[in-house]
């Protein structure tokens, strides 16, 4: 893999993920890989691939899968749910030094993004 390119892995073969793949492939800085394996088998493959981010169609994976995947493969996990037109972002990055100010900033940023 080219050191400048970031690896993105899509787990599943849904129409929604095919559309995401087509859009991402337009960006030369990304290496896009699709895994068409059952979620349970994908975990080991993802570990070997070490992607910068993983994208899932939440409508076709078990509800607990994103969280168990995040424990096994810390990083950026993006879940798309075409049925509700929502995108979920989960990050395995952790901070041991979270201040009250940091927490308030996250709450305020979220509130600004949901207003109006």
Arithmetic mean of pLDDT, 9-14: 89
Strand intervals (E) in the chain:
6-11, 30-35, 53-57, 76-81, 86-91
Q: Which band of pLDDT confidence, cut at 50, 70 and 90, is reported for residue 109? A: confident
- pTM more than 0.95: no
pLDDT per residue over 35-86, tens digit each? Answer: 998 877 888 899 899 999 999 988 888 888 888 888 877 788 899 888 888 8
Q: Where are the domains of the chain?
A: 6-114
Arithmetic mean of pLDDT, 87-111: 72
pLDDT per residue over 99-108, tens digit each? Answer: 777 777 777 7
- The CATH number corresponding to 6-114 among 1.10.3210.10, 3.40.605.10, 3.40.50.2300, 3.40.1080.10 equals 3.40.50.2300
Q: Which two tokens stand for residue 93?
A: 């990055």
CA distance 47 to 39: 13
Starting at the edge strand found earlier in the chain, the sheet holding 76-81 runs 30-35, 6-11, 53-57, 76-81, 86-91
Instruction: Classify the C-alpha dihedral 72-76-82-87 as positive or negative.
Output: positive
């Amino acid at each position: 893999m080219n050191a400048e390119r970031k690896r993105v892995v899509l787990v599943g073969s849904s129409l929604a993920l095919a559309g995401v793949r087509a859009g991402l492939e337009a960006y030369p800085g990304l290496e896009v890989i699709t895994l068409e394996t059952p979620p349970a088998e994908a975990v080991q493959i993802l570990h070997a691939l070490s992607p910068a981010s993983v994208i899932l169609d939440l409508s076709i994976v078990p509800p607990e899968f994103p969280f168990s995947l995040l424990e096994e493969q810390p990083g950026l996990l993006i879940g798309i749910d075409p049925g509700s037109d929502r995108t979920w972002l989960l990050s395995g990055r952790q901070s041991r030094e979270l201040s009250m100010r940091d927490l308030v900033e996250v709450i305020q940023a979220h509130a600004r993004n949901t207003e109006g």
